[in-house]
Homo-oligomer: A and B are copies of this chain.
Amino acid sequence: MYDEGVNTRPAAGLAERKRQLVSDELTEAALQLMARKGFDAVTVDEIVAAAGVSKRTFFRYFASKEDVVVQFLTAMGTGIHGALADRPAGEPPSVALRHAVQVPLAECAGHSERTLRVVRLILRTPALLARFLERQEQWREDLAAELARREGSGAEAGLHDRLAAGTALVAFNTVLRSWCDGDGAEDPAALTDRAFAVIAPALDASGR
């Protein structure tokens, strides 16, 4: 393991690695240009020129121009969901969700310089924000389903789980925005704790 998880097996999918290389190259070029000129001012033609591939190839890797940025954060969604699934069964929802949300935010704090640039770009570009929020709707569905699995089904389980998942994501977004607006000065973990201190009573509310 040098950089990525590559190079583990002798020749495990050479084609795979080539694809990954092209994808990385495109993402890098796109983020570089957009950080400098803004999302709207960068055309796909510029990106592919910088990356040395054709426009057609770009759209084979990314469904849209927004995708090349938002896909960068896809890991967050699967991260939250996976982390929630890994929490012990007895844990109250507020605690489990707090830890789940904590996971991708810790990533942020780690690679702050790079991540901060991307998050800033997303939160300040209407088109990107829109796509990001839309993707979160899917996260919300997944989280609600996972909560339902954990907590069993009571009277208003469906409504309650969807509200809990949504509220947790509101906390996530609020933390992300505070962190971004403060240029990374604030500690995401501390912000998350404070946010969940406020919303916890709603997440653990009885009436399931």
Using a CB–CB cutoff of 8 Å, the interface residues on chain A facing chain B are 126, 129-131, 133-134, 137, 156, 159-160, 162-163, 166-167, 169-171, 173-174, 177-178, 191, 194-195, 197-203, 205, 207
A199 and B163 contact, CB distance less than 8 A? yes
Q: How far is the CA of A134 from the CA of B133 in the complex (A)?
A: 7
- Grouping DSSP codes into helix (H, G, I), strand (E, B) and loop, the A interface class, with mixed when no group exceeds half, is helix
B171 and A163 contact, CB distance less than 8 A? yes
Collect the chain B residues with CB atoms within 8 Å of residue A177's CB. 162
Residue of B nearest to A173 (CB): B166
**Contact with A134, one of B129, B167, B178 (Cβ below 8 angstroms):** B129
Residue of B nearest to A203 (CB): B202
Q: How far is the CA of A129 from the CA of B136 in the complex (A)?
A: 11
Q: How far is the CA of A25 from the CA of B134 in the complex (A)?
A: 29
Collect the chain B residues with CB atoms within 8 Å of residue A160's CB. 198
* 25 pairs from A and B in contact (CB 8 Å cutoff): A126-B134, A129-B137, A130-B130, A130-B133, A156-B198, A159-B174, A159-B178, A159-B194, A159-B198, A162-B174, A162-B177, A163-B174, A163-B198, A166-B167, A166-B170, A167-B199, A167-B202, A169-B170, A198-B202, A198-B207, A199-B205, A200-B202, A201-B201, A201-B205, A202-B203
Interface centre among A159, A195, A200 (most CB of B within 10 A): A159
Collect the chain B residues with CB atoms within 8 Å of residue A137's CB. 129, 133
**Contact with A167, one of B159, B167, B205, B207 (Cβ below 8 angstroms):** B167
Residue of B nearest to A155 (CB): B194
CB distance from A180 to the nearest CB of B (A): 13
